[in-house]
Amino acid sequence: MTVSSQASADETTLVAQSREGDTAAFGELVRRYEGKIFRLAQHVTQNREDAEDVLQETFMKAYEHLDQFQGNSKFYTWIVRIAVNQALMKLRRRKTDKSVSLDETIDTGEDTMVREIAAWDEDPEQRFSRDELGGILDTAVQSLEPPYRSVFTLRDIDELSTEETAEALGLSVPAVKSRLLRARLQLREKLTRYFKRKGDDAFAYM
């Protein structure tokens, strides 16, 4: 697959060319989104081998079903749905003998906790190198429980809408919203450790 001439091509054109059997165009679509799909698959499955399977299956299915892709949504949104389905299947297969499932109703009621309240610097991420920052952000997301992690990943990292996230995960919109709120607040709390303004004590405002 050669891609050099396709690098800046418009997505709609690439999809149309791929449908016509242009493998270079399809190769460019793969290259454009493979990083995001692999990341998403790793976030959902928490397993590199499974994530690699999901990555391959996603683009394989995308290729096989290109004819079914409706031009009214973004290509990225379409392959994200394929990827999420594949990743969830892996997860369910692995967890059949465990109690936690992504579809399980979880209590997101009253215990939205806020333990630490400290202001952050204006651009808190500037304090860290790119690699350090990546490590901090990854560790924080990994430490979320899977139901929160998957919602946060899709909504705030992969930037799907609430409705798309609900559809992809088979959840109701209110369930996505309450899980997202919990995830955001938990991450905020975890990151406060690194990003709070120097000299500010926790509970300074209490």
Beta carbon of residue 147, minimum distance to another protein (angstroms, whole number): 16
Cβ distance to another protein smaller for residue 30 or 166: 30
Beta carbon of residue 105, minimum distance to another protein (angstroms, whole number): 19
Structure tokens at 153: 């990943």
Nearest to 61 by CA among 40, 80, 36, 42: 80
Cβ distance to another protein smaller for residue 100 or 173: 173
Give the x/- contact pattern for another protein in 19-58, rule: CB under 8 A.
Answer: --x-x--xx--x---xxx-xx------------x--xx--
Q: Which of residues 61-100 bind another protein (CB under 8 A)?
A: 63-64, 66
150 binds another protein (CB under 8 A): no
**Residues at the interface with another protein (CB under 8 A):** 1, 21, 23, 26-27, 30, 34-36, 38-39, 52, 55-56, 59-60, 63-64, 66, 112, 114, 117-120, 124-125, 133-134, 137, 141, 152, 156-157, 159, 162, 177, 180-181, 184-185, 187-188, 191-192, 195, 205-206
